[in-house]
Chains A and B, each alone.
Chain A
Amino acid sequence: MILPNYKPILFDGAYTKGEWTLERYLAKGGYEAAKRALAMPRDPATNSVPALINEVRDAGLRGRGGAGFSTGRKWGFVDYRSPKPRYLAVNFDESEPGTCKDRVVGMYNPHMLIEGCLIAMHAVGIERGYIYIRGEFVVEFDHLCRACAEAYQAGFLGANVLGSGHAFHLQPHRGSGAYICGEETGLLSSLEGSRGYPKVKPPFPAVEGAWGCPTVVNNVGTIASLPYLVRIGAGAYAAIGAAPALGDGPAITGSPGSQVYCLSGHVRKPGLYEHPMNITLRELIYDGNFGGGMLDDIPIKAVIPGGSSMPVLRCDGRPYLAADGKESTDNLDLEMSFDAVRNAGSMLGSAAVIVMNERVCMVNALYNLARFYRHESCGQCTPCREGTGWLEKILGKIVRGKGGKADYERLHNVATQMSGTTICLLSDSVAMPVGSFVTKFREEFKYYCEHGKSMVKDAIRL
């Protein structure tokens, strides 16, 4: 369901020159939510604000980085008994292929991010936060630094912020071109000045994170959602968009709040579209205010709904044999919420929607992704380091026309053995697309292996 005239929250003022300044942000009511939050006293026993943590949990806010975990609960896991300092690490690494939303927040709305950091840091009792931004985002980094400078000058950062008696410090930190630093423990390793190697969990960062201290790691989209959440309150926030969360039960359900969909690939109007999560995939691709339909009217074939690590959806209307042997189809009338996409066998992830038309050869598309993961594997765990290499080599052999019948099975086997056998999820992030591509487009892979050429006529060069 498309809401007419939905007013963007994270993208308020996006693409407008000069909009990043403190002056503009204050004119729009900026830092009012932080004032409200910082007026809430800390519980002396834990040095945290349970009421604020509960508010974020009750609002049903779920992480925008990929996993969709409850933000309030994540904050609840922090080891509040530890005498060590606590840290905040904001994940601005944004490297998942298809994802490019945080960039815009950093460039045009950095103060919303800083205000969100203040709220998170006050709630959890944190004095020092780091914004880990990918190295390529030089201009975005500069905007963040400038905005932090303004915040320090105006007293929104520094000692005794807004008369709360608490100090808050933020430091933007630039990475240098490593996808794995978007994984939370890899990010922390990199922040500490090491190779971006992920670490075994548990202990989770909430217990033992940066410099061995309890650390909250949240995505830019999550943190930047906080000022609005605090301004309107948990009840009103939970009512935005899809079915509300079920509170404190074991399952994390509901997808309230704004989501920024990164629509890329073969649509007429690729772009970043902010909307509550009750919009369907069909609306996102075909509605005139969103994707505007397929590029050059070439029919749709497949969609990756949540960044390249998520299973692909087959959208050409043809059935496929699912892993359980049953005939299945994927539906374009899929609500783009965390729960609905999961129920459809994929994940909303970072809401990066990659649309592919009929002229895309799925074997070549998967080869492209395999190359990406081989390049980005950190090399720590054998199944991932070797497995990503094998996948690239096998797929490379197939696309050069040298594949055999056994290669199809081999892809499947390698992917299966990579899943769940490594320190971090990168290995699974390869296994998911590989598994779904070869299952849902089985005939294309078999054809390529048997005939030494693509089944797709006039395939696009990938």
Chain B
Amino acid sequence: MAFTFNDDSRTQFEWLLTRYPEKRAALLPAMRLVEEQQGFVDNEALDYLAAQLGLAPACVYGVFTFYSHYRKPEDGKYVVMVCATLPCALRGAQMVADTFKQELGVGTGETTADKLFTLKKVECLGSCTTAPVCQINDDYYENLTPERIKDIVADLKAGRVPRHLSNGPTLDGGRCAYKPMMEAVQGKR
């Protein structure tokens, strides 16, 4: 079925268009809106965005494929991104990768049969002083040990909020993205 924005995404998208001098600049944030709405970005959504922004679909595909952090249709529910760059490598990134492979029973770049986990090796996540780290969906997990990784996997499998979440203070009311800001700019708050 062809992708269309729901009302929530549509409102945010139209507000985003007012925040840049050119429409096209809303492309990257709009891909995030797609991601939030349906959990991933696929070609149908890219076609839709191209039409919305007056761009050629090829141009939008070109932009999308340049960036590595958008969720893809084939990704599992939890995308485990293991940082492999030097500062993490010095503190045991190989151990992290090995433990996840063992716990999930998949190799790097693979998804578990139940579509719950996708394991990815990524470059520097920018949390080098708490190495080794990984990111699972939106959240960072820092100072990883084999025990912690086992707990995290067990918690996610059981549908619990993992014990070792290390994002610092969570905002009151949780994830917000643009909404409170949009309301404040529009004088609705």
Interface: B181 (CB within 8 A)? yes
Say whether B177 contacts A461, CB under 8 Å. Answer: no
Partner of B128, one of A134, A171, A352: A352
Chain B residues near A211 (CB, 8 Å)? 21-22
What CA separation (Å) do A310 and B44 show in the bound complex?
43
Instruction: Indicate if A420 sits at the interface (CB-CB under 8 A).
Output: no
Q: Are A107 and B168 in contact (CB under 8 A)?
A: yes
For chain A, the bracket of interface size reads 35 or more
Which residue of the partner chain, among A136, A153, A378, contacts B135 with CB atoms under 8 Å? A136
Chain B residues with CB under 8 Å of A18's CB are: 169
Chain A residues, CB < 8 A from B19: 169, 171
User: Chain B contacts of A192 at CB under 8 A?
Assistant: 22, 24-25
A142-B175, A265-B90, A372-B86 known; A153-B69 Cβ under 8 A:
no
Are B22 and A365 within 8 A (Cβ)?
no
A94 contacts B126, CB within 8 Å? yes
Binding-face segment, A98-106, A235-243, A341-349, A387-395: A98-106
* Residue contact B28 to A190, C-beta cutoff 8 Å: yes
Query: Cβ of A415 < 8 Å from any Cβ of B?
Result: no
Q: Which residue of A lies closest to B189 (CB)?
A: A153
Q: Is B180 an interface residue (CB 8 A)?
A: yes
Task: Give the CA-CA distance A365 to B19 in the complex, in Å.
Answer: 43
CA distance A264 to B22 in the complex (A): 41
Cβ–Cβ < 8 Å partners of A85 in chain B: 21
B126 to A: closest C-beta gap in Å: 5
Contact of A177 among B67, B138, B169 (CB under 8 A): B67
CA distance A195 to B171 in the complex (A): 31
Given A100-B127, A108-B168, A193-B26, does the pair A178, B67 have CB atoms closer than 8 Å? yes
Chain A contacts for B171, CB-based, 8 A: 139, 142-143, 146
Which one of A266-274, A331-339, A403-411 is at the B interface?
A266-274
Is A263 an interface residue, CB under 8 A from the partner?
yes
Q: Specify which of A136, A138, A172 is in contact with B126 (CB 8 Å cutoff).
A: A136
Chain A nearest CB from B134 CB (Å) reads: 11
Given the known interface contacts A146-B171, A149-B189, A460-B90, the answer about A262 and B129 at a Cβ–Cβ threshold of 8 Å is yes
In the complex, what residue of chain B is closest to A18 when comparing beta carbons?
Answer: B169
A152 touches B86 (CB 8 A): no
B81 to chain A, nearest CB (A): 8
Contact partner of B25 (CB less than 8 A), chosen from A94, A191, A368, is: A191
| Complex Cα–Cα for A94 and B26 (A) | 22
Given A136-B135, A376-B123, A462-B86, does the pair A149, B128 have CB atoms closer than 8 Å? no
Query: Chain B 148-189 against A: per-residue CB contact (8 Å), 1 yes, 0 no?
Result: 000000000000000000011111000111101101110001
Report the minimum CB–CB distance from B5 to chain A (whole Å).
17
Contact of A98 among B26, B128, B135 (CB under 8 A): B128
Q: Which residues of B contact A152 (CB under 8 A)?
A: 181, 184-185
Which residues of B does A touch, CB under 8 Å?
19-22, 24-29, 31-32, 53, 62-63, 66-70, 81, 84-87, 89-91, 93-94, 122-131, 135, 138-140, 167-171, 175-178, 180-181, 183-185, 189
Across the A-B interface, the 3 shortest Cβ-Cβ residue pairs: A177-B69, A176-B67, A193-B27
Q: Which residues of A contact B (CB under 8 A)?
A: 15-20, 85, 94-100, 103, 107-108, 128, 134-139, 141-143, 145-146, 148-150, 152-153, 158, 169, 171-179, 190-196, 211, 262-266, 270-272, 308, 352, 354, 356, 360, 365, 368-369, 371-372, 375-376, 378, 460-462
25 contacts between A and B (CB under 8 A): A15-B168, A20-B169, A103-B126, A136-B69, A139-B138, A142-B171, A142-B176, A145-B176, A146-B180, A149-B184, A152-B184, A171-B19, A174-B32, A175-B28, A175-B69, A177-B122, A178-B66, A178-B68, A179-B124, A192-B22, A193-B24, A194-B63, A263-B129, A271-B129, A462-B93
User: Given A145-B181, A176-B70, A376-B123, 9 other A-B contacts at CB below 8 A?
Assistant: A97-B124, A100-B130, A103-B127, A107-B168, A138-B138, A148-B184, A175-B67, A177-B68, A264-B91
